[in-house]
């Protein structure tokens, strides 16, 4: 726990935010952006050592943060993380469900294993769904009593893979599309309390994507050629969008899927 007061200026000053999957990549980028904007950020993942590094970085820049270890595959741990957030910050205003597991419960993985639908492994399907829309639902349900006090914000994550139905990724595609459906439902039900619920579909450079591109020569060049902007964003870009969705400028936006992907999946 950390009792350092949050910064008194910034678009999220006085807010308390919980960010899952915050030890690296997109989650880390969002946590750092929230800290910069004055929120007390509770960073959550299974990697406590890396979370402590994120906390230290936020504190070094004058922000306030708390690290909470949580395996999102465990419902009780998800609920406990929400309660720990309220205890640390005195409430909960912004919930960011960024974490997503792959592999199986017995053998988690940092990325999905591509498989044709006909060769789908039940344990991988079940774990991907459990750590995707199910864990997101657990967190949203636990956070709801606190979010409705002051009109909170929920930011969930989907994927262009789900939008396109990318071959070989059925569990992940279905998990992300289910998360979008969950988000739209919550947006309709919770709007009466001033709560907004939106989804980000990112194409962002992370440690995992960099490793994939390094292991597959030519993939980066081919991808860049598909992108209208001819560039791939980083975690800081996700942080800027999340700050906007969590801040006062997004009061009138809910139930939306926002494509943060250099124009890759644009459509009507």
Query: What positions carry a catalytic annotation?
Result: 172
Provide the β-strand partners of residue 23.
none
Q: Going along the chain, which residue ranges are E strands?
A: 16-20, 40-45, 64-69, 94-97, 102-103, 108-109, 153-157, 196-202, 257-260
Q: Going along 79-138, which residue ranges are E strands?
A: 94-97, 102-103, 108-109
Residues 6+ apart with CB under 8 A from 177: 158, 162, 163
Which contacts qualify for 211-215: CB closer than 8 Å, 24 or more apart?
Answer: 212/111
CA–CA separation, 100 vs 131, rounded Å? 5
Burial 51-68, CB ≥16 within 10 A → b, else e: beebbeebeeebbbbbbb
Distance of CA 71 to the CA centre of its chain: 14
Contact in structure between 11 and 65 (CB atoms under 8 Å): no
Contact in structure between 124 and 171 (CB atoms under 8 Å): yes
Of the candidates 48, 40, 37, the one whose C-alpha atom is nearest the C-alpha of residue 17 is 40
CA–CA separation, 234 vs 84, rounded Å? 29
């Amino acid at each position: 726990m950390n009792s350092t007061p949050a910064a008194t200026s910034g678009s999220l000053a006085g807010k308390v935010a919980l960010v899952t999957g915050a030890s690296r990549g997109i989650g880390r980028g969002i946590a750092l952006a929230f800290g910069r904007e004055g929120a007390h950020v509770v960073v959550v993942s299974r990697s406590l050592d890396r979370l402590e590094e994120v906390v230290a970085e936020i504190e070094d820049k004058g922000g306030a943060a708390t690290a909470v270890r949580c395996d999102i595959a465990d419902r009780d741990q998800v609920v406990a993380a929400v309660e720990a957030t309220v205890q640390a910050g005195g409430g909960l205003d912004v919930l960011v469900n960024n974490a997503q597991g792959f592999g199986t419960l017995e053998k988690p993985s940092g990325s999905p294993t591509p498989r044709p639908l006909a060769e789908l492994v039940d344990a991988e399907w079940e774990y991907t769904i459990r750590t995707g829309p199910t864990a997101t639902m657990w967190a949203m349900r636990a956070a709801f009593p606190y979010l409705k006090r002051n009109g909170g914000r929920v930011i969930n994550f989907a994927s262009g893979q789900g939008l396109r139905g990318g071959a070989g990724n059925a569990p992940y595609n279905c998990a992300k599309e289910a998360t979008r459906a969950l988000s739209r439902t919550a947006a309709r039900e919770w709007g009466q309390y001033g709560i907004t619920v939106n989804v980000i579909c990112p194409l962002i450079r992370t440690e995992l994507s960099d490793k994939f591109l390094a292991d597959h020569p030519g993939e980066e060049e081919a991808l860049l050629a598909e992108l209208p902007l001819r560039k791939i964003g980083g975690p800081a870009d996700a942080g800027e969008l999340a700050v906007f969705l969590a801040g006062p400028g997004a009061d009138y936006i809910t139930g939306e899927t926002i494509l943060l992907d250099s124009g890759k999946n644009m459509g009507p």
